[in-house]
Structure 1
Amino acid sequence: MKQHIRRFLEINEFFETTGFEKRTDIADFFVFRFDELPKDNALKMPPYQKDFYQVSLIMISGNAVADINEQSNKTLENTLYFLSPEHIFSWQRNIQTTGFVVYFKTAFLNFFSGNFKNEFSFFNLSEQNFLKLENEQAAELASDFEKIHKEYYTPNPYRVQILQSFLLSLLFKYKSLQEVIGRTNNKPSKKQELVFQFQNLVTNCYIKHKQVGEYAKELNISANTLNQTVKEILGKTAKELISEKIIQESKKRLKYSTDDVSEIAYSIGFEEPTHFIRFFKKQTATTPKEYRNSQM
């Protein structure tokens, strides 16, 4: 049976599912500390999507794990990450984890006259969606999150407006931090930046997009330009990179999961298991079942 990834429309709906007893009275916004989660609250969440954005700062992580579109991150200490409604997210938390989570919908920032997606591109699938911080940077940002958290629980007739300004300030602060880091590192060429964006898109979208043209459309360039640039920088075609990612994830699931071949085919975005089997054999000269048996 085809696998479906659950999508949560509202913040409180998500809390109901995970067993978090708190509810937000501001439909499009909420903030909480990790240490506010009860010890018997859900410790693991399978892949899901949500119709709101997320900004998280993890200070102490323990053995917590965050998977963003199948990309696993197990070194979460002093990490800031950003998720959009397009991301597929799953996690395993640790009861010792500390830090903050902010959920919001763009409607909460309806006073902002700029283009949200262009201004805050770090939410985009084509960008790096998490950043490792130095201790001082993490401490400074923690104070900003703490300010937002305190204001959320402070009765005030202008509470929503204050929270709106604090959130926008936080997003612009990260944008500034991102630009500073970019200036201190060796700035990549335009072609290298394009390839980097393409690689991030493949990591995030290989389940949904399997054709070069689909990625080219996301990047607002022609398929020929994308192919030529990727070939020049990496020595491989864009199609080869997409296929390599699909095979890499297929092999991982065949080796480490007990799902049957048809379940794996659906989970990776193939409409029919036979299409997946043909693709896998063309790329590896072996069938998925043969590969699984060889790893036992």
Structure 2
Amino acid sequence: MKQNIKRFNEINEFFETTGFEKRTDIADFFVFRFDELPKDNALKMPPYQKDFYQVSLILNSGNAVANINEQSNKALENTLYFLSPDHIFSWQRNMRTTGFVVYFKTEFLNFFSGNFKNEFSFFNLSEQNFLKLDIEQIVELASDFEKLYKEYYTPNAYRVHILQSFLLSLLFKCKSLQEVIGSININPSKKQELVFQFQNLVTNCYIKHKQVGEYAKKLNVSANTLNQNSKEVLGITAKELISEKIIQEAKKLLKYSAEDISEIAYSIGFEEPTHFIRFFKNQTSTTPKEYRNSQM
């Protein structure tokens, strides 16, 4: 039977599962510090999704790991990252990790008249969801998180309204940083930008989507255009890129995990283990079992 990824609808429901003793009195918003997490709190969380957004500023990270699907990010020191309800996320925390976490639903910003997803593209699956910051940017942004944190714990008749404005201000500050950091790099061509978005989508969605047409639809282009651009920029077709990603993750699980082959097949989105075995052999000329045995 295919494994289901746990989905959390409410912030407090998520806290109950992870053993975090705090609860929010504002259903659609909460902010806390990493160092407030108790030592006996969950140190590791298997893949899950949640119906609220997350902005995190990690200062000291230790050996903390953040995973979007099976894509690991271990270089979390001085990092800002963004998660949406579309992301499949898992993590391993370190008790020495410091920084801030903000959870919110878009309903909390119901006064905002703009298009949320278009305005704050760093939440999108097709974009890079991590920003590496320099010391000056860290100092500036940490003060914004601190202001949001202090206001949450300050009794005030206008507390919610102030938090709403502070949160929107923080998101625009993040957008500004995203644009500054992006401008440092060479401006990509339209073809390169499309392929970059495609690569990010594959990283985030390969478990659910394995067909070129599914990605082309998300990127508002034809499958033929996506294949041609991928071939021109990367030297491989879009289909080959998707297959490479699946094989890469499958090999990692076969080599390093104790899961049996059926569990691995389900975890990377195959409805039947036989489909996974056939796919793996077609791509590598060896079966998953033979590959695993060769790595021992």
Range into which the TM-score falls when normalised by the shorter chain: over 0.9
**Is 1:256 aligned with 2:250?**
no
What amino acid is aligned across from residue 280 of structure 1 in structure 2? F
Which residue of structure 2 lines up, in the alignment, with residue 86 of structure 1?
Answer: 86
Which residue of structure 1 lines up, in the alignment, with residue 127 of structure 2?
Answer: 127
Task: Map residues 99-248 of structure 1 onto 2, 5 A cutoff.
Answer: 99-248=99-248
Deviations 1:131-166 (A, max 9, x none): 110011011111000000000000111111110010
Shift of 1:183: 2.2
**Is 1:29 aligned with 2:29?**
yes
Which residue of structure 1 lines up, in the alignment, with residue 68 of structure 2?
Answer: 68
Question: Unaligned regions of 5+ residues in structure 2, if any?
Answer: none
SS at 1:216 equivalent? helix
Distance 1:24 1:47 in 2: 23
Distance 2:64 2:278 in 1: 37
Deviations 1:268-296 (A, max 9, x none): 10111111111111001111111111111
Distance 2:70 2:88 in 1: 8
Which residue of structure 2 lines up, in the alignment, with residue 45 of structure 1?
Answer: 45
Shift of 1:63: 1.0
Distance 1:231 1:34 in 2: 43
SS at 1:91 equivalent? strand
What amino acid is aligned across from residue 136 of structure 1 in structure 2? E
Which residue of structure 2 lines up, in the alignment, with residue 267 of structure 1?
Answer: 267
Question: Unaligned regions of 5+ residues in structure 1, if any?
Answer: none
Deviations 1:202-249 (A, max 9, x none): 000000000000000010111111011111111110000000000011
Structure 2 length normalisation: TM-score? 0.99
Deviations 1:253-277 (A, max 9, x none): 1111111111111111011111111
List 4+ stretches of structure 1 deviating above 4 A: none
What amino acid is aligned across from residue 112 of structure 1 in structure 2? F
Distance 2:184 2:269 in 1: 39
Which residue of structure 1 lines up, in the alignment, with residue 288 of structure 2?
Answer: 288
Shift of 1:32: 0.1
SS at 2:23 equivalent? coil
Which residue of structure 2 lines up, in the alignment, with residue 4 of structure 1?
Answer: 4
Distance 2:271 2:134 in 1: 44
Distance 2:260 2:152 in 1: 47
Structure 1 length normalisation: TM-score? 0.99
SS at 2:183 equivalent? helix
RMSD (CA atoms):
0.7
Distance 1:106 1:246 in 2: 32
How many residues were matched structurally?
Answer: 296
What amino acid is aligned across from residue 123 of structure 1 in structure 2? F
Distance 1:266 1:184 in 2: 41
SS at 1:275 equivalent? helix
SS at 1:60 equivalent? coil
What amino acid is aligned across from residue 144 of structure 2 in structure 1? D
Which residue of structure 1 lines up, in the alignment, with residue 13 of structure 2?
Answer: 13
SS at 1:203 equivalent? helix
